[in-house]
Structure 1
Amino acid sequence: MLARPEKKAVLYRMVMDKHICPYGLKARHLLQREGYQVEDNWLRTREDVDAFKAAHDVKTTPQVFIDGQRIGGYDDTRRFFGKTVPDPKATSYRPVLAVFAITALMALASSHAAFGTPFTLRAAEWFIAFSMAVLALLKLQNIETFSTMFLNYDLLARRFVPYGRIYPFAEAGAGILMIAGVLNWISIPVALFIGTIGAVSVFKAVYLDKRELKCACVGGSSNVPLGFLSLTENLMMIAMALYMLVRHGLTM
């Protein structure tokens, strides 16, 4: 039985004292994962990089060659192997789903640590409160970008522009107080107010006005489409506030 010929690829990537190209590392890993023996050529100086680009008439590195044919950079190599290449401009609910998944696990873990079982009513409360705090954290990473995107659809922010900067602090404060179970007389009305305004704003923009917008719920740089999951953030706050209002009554 004849041995299968060894698959070989040639890779050129930047490896300098102060910069190692991450896409070069990803390209090498991809080739090795696909069963290729990689001839790994390092471009160690800016002069080496410029000379390589000029010689091969390319604008970027890394560059991959297979059987003497130039495949291209990391994304081109993924396409060569029939793999998908994410579109950075494409909308996706993944960031919101990731937040909800992690906060749900955090709530279950906290319940287990506190009560010896993950499945408690307190875990459900913590899930909503953790979600509020984490979503506020994401907004506060770049509050200027968030508040600008928020103006696209929030009804109150359009009338009172500073509300866009107040919102994430209010959401974080209410969430943290709900986690601690203290100062309900502050957290309940705050959550109910911002949740109601947010829910009405999203419902109007998406379901009445039929506008296609990006949601600022996980920060102003996200590509999350404004829609049902965006509405969920606000409905969760309303539900939590109403539940706590019933649970604690008017003696807060």
Structure 2
Amino acid sequence: MRAPTSSLRRRAAPWALALAAAFAPLSASALFSDDEARRAILELRARLDEQARARQTEQAQLTEQIQQLRRSLLEATTAMEALRGEIAQLRGRDEQLARDVAEVQRRQRDISQGVEERIRKLEPQKVSLDGKEFLVEADEKRQYEEAVALLRNGDFPAASSAFSALLKRYPASGYADAARFWLGNALYGRRDYAGAIASFRGFVSGAPEHPRAPEALLAIANCQIEMKDSRSARRTLEELLKTYPKSEAAQAGRDRMAALK
């Protein structure tokens, strides 16, 4: 049995060597392919790493840009809000300015109206009295009307003072003749007959054509009668009848003349 086994081993040895020789080139080739694969993998990993780094860099740049855009947007929003605030303030100022302008214009109108009113008061005014037209100052007109009102109210002392003041301040006034006549009446009301006679005489001498001149002569005669001066009263009545025979005062004078006899 041992002889065959040795024989078999001797027979198998060449085949084993042949098989080993056959597989030897295959193992070297397999080892060489693995190295290339490793290099390819390393190169791929390197490229992937580089791309990853590039993407990270790009991502960082994009992130920075987004942050910058956000900051810019925030700044723009803040600026817009500030601008809106300024616009609101400007609108408020414009409204206030419009109100101020309106107030100034109103005051100017009031001042202008006041000035015009004062000018009108200072400007001479045309009046008509006892059939005569003339120009008077505003204060002159007021003073005369106030004096007449006092006389009508029966305040003879105040009326006589007012007419005297008017004649003193405006001696050449168009109211002068009427003021003398009414002054005589005020003095007569005060029973200042001598003063009344002087005022009526001044009136008749200065304005003999005045429609109230006959009344003034009759009033002089009445003053003289009150003073118990019948002789002077008769002469005055004769003057009235001679100078103004057709007047109503002359008719009353005739009655007085008859009463004196």
More strand by share: 1
If the length of structure 1 is used for normalisation, what is the TM-score?
Answer: 0.30
If the length of structure 2 is used for normalisation, what is the TM-score?
Answer: 0.30
Higher RCO (CA 8 Å, separation ≥ 6 residues): 1
Name which one, 1 or 2, has greater alpha-carbon Rg: 2
